[in-house]
């Protein structure tokens, strides 16, 4: 399951050959880029989805965006996540990719989609709102405070 291409972007599965590209992203956490790729490949195998490489139609690496399973206060949810190269931020790429991922999640039958975002990450909060997610709660996740944005994907419009 790959999200549909957008006007400027296309998606493909991440591979170990993407290590140099992933190193350009601010992914945080303790996995490191190689661990990030390994985790993504496991997600493809276990869930049929994961973070996909996002690139321009000309093949320029933009970042990653996709779906992962995340635990929040004892419950498991499908999360939309995105990372864009620092030099390409503030150009609408994250929202464009995330909207396509949201549509793919709805098509795949995901009932409730979330995004877990640090309170200081105002840009990602804007992306979440732009794709129709609303603030649901604040939690402690991965060593600090986090905001959980979410939406029911099959709720009446």
Tell me the domain boundaries of the chain.
9-152
Question: By C-alpha distance, which of 68, 20, 33 is closest to 47?
Answer: 68
Distance CA 100, CA 137 (A): 24
Two tokens, residue 5: 């291409």
Q: Which class is 9-152 in CATH? A: alpha beta
H helical segments located in 23-146: 32-47, 93-107, 122-130
Spell out the per-residue pLDDT of the chain, length 157, in tens. 899 999 999 999 999 999 999 999 988 666 789 999 999 999 999 999 999 999 999 999 999 999 999 999 999 999 999 999 999 999 999 999 999 999 999 999 999 999 999 999 999 999 999 999 999 999 999 899 999 999 999 855 4
Provide the b/e sequence for 114-143 (b: ≥16 CB within 10 Å): bbbbeeeeeebbebbeebbbeeeeeeebee
């Amino acid at each position: 399951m790959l999200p549909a291409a957008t006007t400027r972007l296309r998606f493909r599965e991440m591979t170990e050959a993407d290590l140099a590209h992933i190193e350009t992203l601010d992914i945080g956490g303790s996995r490191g880029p190689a661990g990030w790729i390994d985790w993504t490949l496991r997600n493809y195998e276990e869930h049929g989805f994961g973070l996909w490489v996002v690139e321009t139609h000309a093949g320029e690496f933009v970042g990653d965006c996709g779906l992962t399973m995340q635990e929040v206060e004892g419950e498991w949810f499908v999360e939309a996540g995105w990372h864009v190269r620092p030099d390409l931020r503030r150009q609408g790429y994250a929202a464009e990719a995330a909207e396509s991922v949201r549509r793919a999640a709805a098509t795949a039958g995901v009932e409730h989609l979330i995004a877990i975002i640090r309170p200081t990450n105002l840009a990602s909060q804007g992306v979440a709102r732009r794709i129709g997610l609303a603030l649901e709660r604040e939690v402690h996740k991965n060593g600090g405070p986090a905001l959980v944005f979410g939406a029911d994907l099959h709720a009446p419009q």
